[in-house]
Amino acid sequence: MNTVLIGSQWGDEGKGKVIDVLTDKADFVVRYQGGSNAGHTVIAEGKKRVLRLIPSGILHEGKTCVIGNGVVMNPLDLIEEIDQMRATGVDPTGRLFISTRTQMVMLYHRALDKAEEAARAPAKKIGTTGRGIGPAYAAKVSRTGFRCGDMLAKNFLEKVREQVVETNAKLKMLKAERVDEGDAIEVPGCTIKDYQLDPDEIVAIYKVAAEKLAPYIKDTVPMLHKAKAAGKSILLEGAQGTMLDIDFGTYPFVTSSNPTSGGACIGSGLSPRDIDCVVGVIKAYTTRVGAGPFPTELYNAEDKQDPDGKLMAERGHEFGAVTKRPRRTGWYDAVVARYAQQVNGVDYWAMTKLDVMDPFPKIKICVAYELDGQVIDYMPTSADELARVKPVYEEMDGWMCETSNVTRIEDLPPKAKAYVDRLVELSGGKLGILSIGPARESTLRIAL
């Protein structure tokens, strides 16, 4: 059984926890897109860990983890993560493999990400994580990127030097175009003076990185197909979410990859025929971090202060796992969920954070949108249209008692069960998992 797990909203649905729970039935866990813009939080045996690149399967003994070709991998972040793993007693050697085809995020991609964002007018800012994701995918598509296998080649460092010199020329232009106050752009791990990187310093950094990562680099396509042929089960782990997909999300306020289930094949080398099941992780309310339209938004750090949204943010600890930015919060949007069900082919929902909704006397669900006076039940194509829609709500009674101590779905308060049933009914698919707290143990497994 090979399963793809995707985020159904704007990321931060709690995928880290669900992947961790589902890993017990998997032999291989493969990350298929995104980079260290993601932060998958896992709480197990009282310890909290945030994984950015390494699949969380690494925390389970005997599981093999693969960073697939669809990922953009920052070698320095990966080395840091491997070191952190080792410090907590988990040695990834022999269990972690990076595809020879995986594109690399270089320090100069991070510099470009920051310089490009600083050159965007306020209304056009994407609010990127500053992790170099967009520039790394742009390099991939324009066929100038480095793949991990290139780190093993003799002329790697020479090519790195050439690219630093080329990037310095681009950075000079971006400096002239910047609209933000101040001169500096900063990237941890290297020196940037007056928007310029030092080629010698960058080359020295990648010399060490290539040596450290060499043992993990492998052609993972035959490896996965051999595993499949031997009847092993593979869990494909998406990062971000459907509404941040470069094709299906709220373009241009999106990430630069395909978090949707189609991306799993492209990003791993498995074929569509190899996928048996799609699990959509979805929160019992909605959040978004970064810029872009969000129809059911109630609360954000700048100009929306609805107390219901504030309560969601507080109870749900809605701060970015990587960037620490406060997330925007709002009611559950069933238009988003239905769209996610369609474009991903969700078989089962893993619904998370139901417990966050415990104290609300009344809970709203967005069932449709009103766009320019017309009621629509589908996702508009453009971000401008989505910014104009007004949510059409239905309202349900809250249950106003704690759910996090429940151990069987039948024991949920009837009003909480009715809310979950209604969300599933509106969204399509079936309920597979219900999560009622951050720990591994606070999980009701219904069908998965």
Indicate whether 244 belongs to the interface with ligand IMP (CB under 6 A): yes
Return the structure tokens found at 100: 């020879």
Please write down the long-range contacts of 368-371, taking CB distance under 8 Å and 24 or more positions apart: 368/335, 368/392, 369/295, 369/335
- Give the nearer residue to ligand IMP in terms of CB position, either 167 or 250: 250
Taking CB under 6 A as the criterion, the residue among 22, 38, 224, 434 binding ligand IMP is: 38
The string of DSSP letters for 44-64 reads ETTEEEEESSS-GGGGSTT-E
Indicate whether 129 belongs to the interface with ligand IMP (CB under 6 A): yes
Residues 288-307 that bind ligand IMP (CB under 6 A): 289-290
Indicate whether 443 belongs to the interface with ligand IMP (CB under 6 A): no
Radius of gyration in angstroms for the set of CA atoms belonging to the chain, rounded to a whole number = 22
Q: Which residues lie below 8 Å from residue 403, measured CB to CB, with a gap of 6+?
A: 354, 355, 358, 412, 413, 416, 436
Q: How far is the CB of 27 from ligand IMP (least distance, A)?
A: 26
Do the beta carbons of residue 269 and residue 221 sit within 8 Å?
Answer: yes
| Part in contact with ligand IMP (CB under 6 A); list of ranges 9-17, 173-181, 205-213, 427-435 | 9-17
Q: How far is the CB of 242 from ligand IMP (least distance, A)?
A: 12
Q: How far is the CB of 339 from ligand IMP (least distance, A)?
A: 17
Taking CB under 6 A as the criterion, the residue among 2, 3, 12, 224 binding ligand IMP is: 12
3-state secondary structure of 43: strand
How many angstroms separate the CA atoms of 27 and 235, rounded? 8
Helices (H), 195-306: 199-213, 220-229, 262-266
Q: How far is the CB of 74 from ligand IMP (least distance, A)?
A: 12
**171: enclosing H helix or E strand:** helix 156-177
Q: How far is the CB of 141 from ligand IMP (least distance, A)?
A: 14
Indicate whether 133 belongs to the interface with ligand IMP (CB under 6 A): yes
How many angstroms separate the CA atoms of 448 and 281, rounded? 13
| Residue 52: CB atoms within 10 Å | 21
Return the structure tokens found at 77: 């972040």
- Give the nearer residue to ligand IMP in terms of CB position, either 128 or 167: 128
Q: How far is the CB of 20 from ligand IMP (least distance, A)?
A: 16
Taking CB atoms, the residue at the shortest distance from ligand IMP is 290
Indicate whether 240 belongs to the interface with ligand IMP (CB under 6 A): yes
- Give the nearer residue to ligand IMP in terms of CB position, either 207 or 317: 317
- Give the nearer residue to ligand IMP in terms of CB position, either 248 or 399: 248
- Give the nearer residue to ligand IMP in terms of CB position, either 76 or 210: 76
Positions marked catalytic: 12, 40
Do the beta carbons of residue 228 and residue 237 sit within 8 Å?
Answer: no
Indicate whether 316 belongs to the interface with ligand IMP (CB under 6 A): no
How many angstroms separate the CA atoms of 44 and 22, rounded? 13
Query: Token match 């998406």: residue?
Result: 238
Indicate whether 442 belongs to the interface with ligand IMP (CB under 6 A): no
Indicate whether 9 belongs to the interface with ligand IMP (CB under 6 A): no
Indicate whether 131 belongs to the interface with ligand IMP (CB under 6 A): yes
Return the structure tokens found at 122: 């306020």
| Residue 100: CB atoms within 10 Å | 17
Do the beta carbons of residue 195 and residue 172 sit within 8 Å?
Answer: yes
Q: Which residues lie below 8 Å from residue 134, measured CB to CB, with a gap of 6+?
A: 113, 116, 126, 128, 255, 256
- Give the nearer residue to ligand IMP in terms of CB position, either 323 or 404: 323
Indicate whether 126 belongs to the interface with ligand IMP (CB under 6 A): yes
Indicate whether 82 belongs to the interface with ligand IMP (CB under 6 A): no
- Give the nearer residue to ligand IMP in terms of CB position, either 318 or 347: 318
Taking CB under 6 A as the criterion, the residue among 69, 74, 167, 255 binding ligand IMP is: 255
How many angstroms separate the CA atoms of 49 and 30, rounded? 18
| Part in contact with ligand IMP (CB under 6 A); list of ranges 130-138, 173-181, 185-193, 425-433 | 130-138
Site for ligand IMP, rule CB under 6 A: 10-12, 37-38, 126-129, 131, 133-134, 239-240, 244, 253, 255-256, 289-290
